[in-house]
Structure 1
């Protein structure tokens, strides 16, 4: 793994061209939709679960989302809707206990 602020060690500018922060430059593996049920355990064992790998995966996911919805010249309201919906769902689940107490119920 690379240290923060540096390129990943797998990145080679002569091979890959311009750096894309939303791309994984490591060894390619099967997509989860292509994995057979019997091979699922070995597929999960090939994943790296270190905190740095998780942070890198979240960063790549953000950059892919931003390139698709936030950075285009004619970006629509999709990015705003995604953020608003995510915040609404997060608030609902954080306040679930309070919502649960206000359910409509018949007391008989």
Structure 2
């Protein structure tokens, strides 16, 4: 039996933008989940005022908090770049760069 190769066209630019937005949404959900975990793990001590995070516990998660802040900023930047590129229909290079930027930031 002979194998046949199927030729597929690449997704349209609109489909690529839609997929990029889905990737950004998933990345933000992951970050939000990590932030919730940190908030739970750094819950208030019974002695401190209600609703405040424990400073001692928060120190243990300082690097994780920093990482989540950086990742949130990256997702925001990627979403902003994508918004700009979507409005620039004549700038195919800008659109390709925006999609590449989204891929890089969601991979992190």
TM-score by length of 1: 0.31
> Where is the helix percentage greater, Structure 1 or Structure 2?
2
TM-score by length of 2: 0.31
